[in-house]
Amino acid sequence: MQLVQEQKCFGGRQIRYQHESQSLNCSMQFSVFLPPQAEQGAVPALYWLSGLTCTDENFSSKAGAQRMAAELGLALVIPDTSPRGEGVADDPQGAYDLGLGAGFYVNATEAPWNKHYRMYDYVLNELPALVEAELPLSGKRAISGHSMGGHGALVLALRNPERFVSVSAFAPISNPTDCPWGHKALSAYLGEDRAAWAEYDTSLLLKAKGCALPMLVDQGEADNFLAEQLKPQALKAAAEHVGAELTLRLQPGYDHSYYFIASFIEDHLRFHARHLGC
């Protein structure tokens, strides 16, 4: 890990690192907030996955999460949303919802994406192994995210419940096999095999596998993407079908922006802190 920049923040440290990723076959940057309690010993971590067009800096600079994370003694680990750099494939038309900034947290199987786009493996295995070896992290993990990142957080938790103690999301893409964003990304990265798509669909996974982890989801009712792209009703129906512990909160007047995230991030951090034992 190479240090890129570091700032003092609420008694802790906001840090940006760079490293060579074996999973993604490129150089990656990610951000970490270490609370002041990390000076005395290892602390648990919340992994945050950002949405379309974002990098590791959106959450760290816009969500206002560090104050509460410092109070709770909770580290924040914030990866980028896709591989980057020379030779990494991108959408030929420069679309925002495919390629750079739009990795969708899957392991791509189709060329040219399969050379680099393996964000699922990166977030699940490579990044935790790296930061937990190099930083004062206890190995206790929770996961959260926004939009595409909410989809990623829920999929990772549902498929690997032993790796996390809790999961939450803001405006997640809840049923990507049945929305335009999902059709575009999943068909490009995974081909036309709908069974492969289902392995990255939160609602289908929850209905098929259930979930023993506590789940918290916030959705703004004034979100422009709510009806066509996000479909929280599919997630709610799946949770009811299997009796999963899902708290789905519809927030009147809130949109898809970081103003929405900043308004409720304290609730999510406290939710995860309870389950992490902070």
Tokens of 78: 């914030």
Are 171 and 49 in contact, with CB atoms under 8 Å apart? Answer: no
Question: Identity (one letter) of the amino acid at 188?
Answer: A
Give the rounded distance of the alpha carbon of 53 from its chain centre.
Answer: 13
Give the residue numbers annotated as catalytic, written as ranges: 147, 223, 256
CA distance 65 to 77: 12
Q: Interior CA angle at 26 toward 24 and 31, to 5°?
A: 85
- The tokens describing 39, both together, are 């000076």
CA geometry: angle at 155 spanning 153 and 161, to 5°?
A: 90
Looking only at the bridges linking them, the beta strands covering 2-9 and 12-21 are antiparallel
Structure tokens at 49: 């996955």
| R_g of the chain, CA atoms, integer Å | 17
